[in-house]
Amino acid sequence: MLMRAAQQGVGMIEILVALLVLAIGVLGFSFLQMRAIDASHEAMSKLQAMNLARDLSEKIRANSNAYTQYQARINAETQTTTAKSCVQKGTTNPCVQAADFTHYDAAQIIKNANGLGMSIKMPNCQVSNNLQSRRCIYVAWGKTKPIDDASAKDACTHVGSYLPKAQCIVMELY
């Protein structure tokens, strides 16, 4: 006589299904954690870029007659990160000309940007009809370049609008 016994305990199929569901949950949580880390890194980069741009804008505001000299030094093909320190107390060669300040300020900003893995430029902003010219500071990091160009896939903006994969900030000066 054949007797059927009732199953006792958990079957192998149920264990495998539970492990599969658990693995999917762990993978989903890991993906969310990676996205959170990327978002916090992006926020930190934006904060550092804003601080660089703000620092440069404050230096320009304090020495506004030398804007074109700041722009020339920041936009130079070969940016210099060294300059004589002429603003410290007790220095034998104090800064007396606007150009002395711009050389020192620009070198410090470029040095700080390079130290953070960022690049900085001061192109003219895009201008709409009948508006006065605006001045901008572009700070870019990663593979993005601080330029306004639609044909370059690694540009920051095109006609004043951020490109989709750009890692940069644009600050207007007034």
- Ramachandran sector of residue 42 (left: φ over 0; alpha: ψ -120 to 50; beta: rest): alpha
Q: What is the pTM of this model?
A: 0.77
Contact in structure between 139 and 49 (CB atoms under 8 Å): yes
Spatial separation of the C-alpha atoms in residues 71 and 54, rounded to whole Å: 15
What is the per-residue pLDDT for 56? Answer: 93
| Below-50 pLDDT ranges, the chain | none
What is the per-residue pLDDT for 21? Answer: 96
What is the per-residue pLDDT for 48? Answer: 95
Q: Which residues lie closer than 8 Å to 87 by C-beta, 6 or more apart?
A: 94, 95, 101, 104
What is the per-residue pLDDT for 87? Answer: 65
Q: Which two tokens stand for residue 70?
A: 């700041």
What is the per-residue pLDDT for 5? Answer: 64
